Amino acid sequence: MSERVFVDSAWNSKPHACYDPHADKFFEAERLTDLGNYEEIYLDSLLFPGIWSELRELIVNGCRVYHFTRSWRWKELRRRFKDDLRKRFKNVKKSDYGDAYILWKVYQVGILKGNAHKWFKRVTVIDVELKPFLMLERMYDRWLRRTRQYATLGVDVAVDLELFEDRVEDLRRIIVAKAREVWPRFMEVAAKLGLDEDDLGGLTGLAGTITYLGWPLMKPSIHKAVHYFGLYRPSREDRLKFM
C-alpha cells in the first residue's frame, strides 16, 4: 500500500481531487474507495451524507481516514501558502488540486511541530455507523421545529408535521439501536443519567454526545464534558465515577 494521499472531496458528480506527496502527483478519483491502496487518507472537512458508505468500506479494509477539522481557516491557509501555490499552479485562485496540496502542507507543518494530526481527526467505524443518522436527525428535527412554528401561526402544515415527526422518531430509534450495538454499556450509562428506554430524545442526545466527543479514540475528560454541556462543575465524587 502507498503511504498517504490528500483529498479535496467533491459532493456532486465531480471527481475528487487528490495529491500523492510521495509520488508528487495530482490525480482524480471518481470514488473514495478508489483510494483503497493508501494506508492513510486525509480529507477536507466536507463530510456529506453520501460519502459515509465509502468511508466505511475504506476503514473496514484497513485504511486510516482523517478529516480536516478547521474549515474556517481555509482563507488564512490559502494566503499563508500562496507562494507554494504559485510554484505549483498558474495562479493562487481556488482550485481543487490547490486545496488538496494545502492539506498536505498543513500535515507537514504538524510534523515539524511534533503533532501531524493536530488539525486532523481520525474517522472511526463508530463515526460511519452513527454520524450519517445523527446528521439526518438534526436536519429533520430542525425542519420539524420550523413546521411547528408555522403551525402556531395558523399555517396548514398538518401533513408535513406528521411526516417530520414520524421521520425524526424513526431516525432516533435507528440511532439508539446502533448505539446499543457499538457500546454494550450504552444503556447502563443512560440509566446512570436517569434516562429510560422510552426517552428517545435523551438517548439520541447521549449517543450524539459520545460520538462527537471522540469515543473510543479519545476518552472525554470531565473538564471537556462540562465545557461541552455547560451544566455544572462536578464534585470530586462525580469525577471519580468517570476515571
The answer on 117 and 32 residing in a single domain is yes
The answer on 230 and 175 residing in a single domain is no
For residue 2, the surrounding DSSP H or E stretch is strand 2-8
Domain final residue, candidates 123, 140, 171: 123
The answer on 132 and 80 residing in a single domain is no
The answer on 130 and 39 residing in a single domain is no
Which pLDDT score is estimated for 175?
94
DSSP-assigned letters across all residues of 7-65: EE--SSSSPEEEEETTTTEEEEESSGGGGTTEEEEEE-S---GGGHHHHHHHHHTT-EE
Number of domains in the chain: 3
- In 3-state terms, what secondary structure has residue 6? strand
The share of the chain scoring above pLDDT 70, in percent, equals: 86
Between 227 and 10, the higher pLDDT residue: 10
Mean pLDDT of 220-237: 51
The answer on 12 and 95 residing in a single domain is yes
Rounded to whole angstroms, the Cα distance separating 138 from 168 reads 9
The answer on 107 and 21 residing in a single domain is yes
Choice among 24-28, 93-97, 188-192 with the minimum mean pLDDT: 93-97
**pLDDT for 224 beyond 80:** no
Domain final residue, candidates 76, 99, 123: 123
**What is the CB neighbour count within 10 angstroms for residue 170?**
14
Q: Residues 40-67: pLDDT tens digits?
A: 999 998 777 778 889 999 999 999 999 9
Q: pLDDT tier at 211 (50, 70, 90 boundaries)?
A: confident
Cell numbers linked to 49: 451524507
**pLDDT for 2 beyond 80:** no
The answer on 167 and 151 residing in a single domain is yes
The answer on 184 and 118 residing in a single domain is no
Which pLDDT score is estimated for 115?
85
**pLDDT for 1 beyond 80:** no
Which pLDDT score is estimated for 225?
54
Domain final residue, candidates 95, 123, 151: 123
The answer on 130 and 118 residing in a single domain is no
Which pLDDT score is estimated for 233?
47
The answer on 154 and 224 residing in a single domain is no
Instruction: Give the structural domain span for 205.
Output: 125-212
Q: Residues 130-187: pLDDT tens digits?
A: 988 998 898 898 898 888 888 888 888 888 888 889 999 999 999 999 999 988 888 9
The answer on 50 and 32 residing in a single domain is yes
The answer on 175 and 150 residing in a single domain is yes
Instruction: Report whether 178 contacts 208 (CB < 8 A).
Output: no
